Amino acid sequence: MSKIIVFGASGQLGQCLKLVSEQQNISDIHFLPEEQANILDISGLEKIFASEKPAYCINCAAYTAVDKAEDEGDLAKKINRDGAANLARICKQTGITLIHVSTDFVFAGNITKLLNENDPAEPINVYGLTKLEGEQAIIDSACNHYILRTSWLYSEYGNNFVKTMLRLGIEKDELRIVSDQIGTPTYGVDLANCILHIIKNDMHQYGLYHYSNEGVTSWYDFAKAVFDI
């Protein structure tokens, strides 16, 4: 397999990628934690790319605190838009393929139908807007890219809904969970497998794609399922 570098290695998806790469005995993959690889430092990035000489760059680095982004919009924009733009620029200059992970938050929150890649993006919060701007920066760069929008990511790692519910279930006697928000939970290991499958079987069908597990549920029913396991 061609050499791969991963930004945001200490996050939820980065750790899922590490697990899956170990399970598949993929050795030519380098995980770059944030303290060693700042996607806002363009000169630092250029040195990393020159040293590593990868064929693929996976960007898992992101500002993901949806609610806090309303107060930290500048920081969210720097990481989600400018960081993505920096990686795309270097990938374009060097001929490297960029795999970038985005979110269903680029869409309005009141949609109940299944969405495809051609549906109009209408983010309703700062987080969704910054992720959409990151997508557009990558597209505008004209680098070889796969943008993967996913939804309700969960796993054994990082901060996610499942782990939050388990923690709150211990701390509180009663939980109030909304039932009017519908989505598709996606297991981080499945997304990691999808990303590595794209690299292994790269047909150069670059562009924007949606990836999630099957089915739909509400946050309320998702929480019930967590406690029923």
Residues catalogued as catalytic: 127
Q: How many whole angstroms separate alpha carbon 177 and alpha carbon 158?
A: 21
Kindly write down the DSSP assignment for every residue of the chain, as one continuous string: ---EEEESTTSHHHHHHHHHHHHTT--SEEEE-TTT--TT-HHHHHHHHHHH--SEEEE------TTGGGT-HHHHHIIIIIIHHHHHHHHHHHTPEEEEEEEGGGS-TT--SPP-TTSPP---SHHHHHHHHHHHHHHHHT--EEEEEE-SEE-SSSS-HHHHHHHHHHH-S-----SS-EE--EEHHHHHHHHHHHHHT-----EEEE---S--EEHHHHHHHHHH-
Residues 195/154, Cβ–Cβ less than 8 Å: no
Query: Which of 117, 127, 132, 121 is CA-nearest to residue 206?
Result: 117
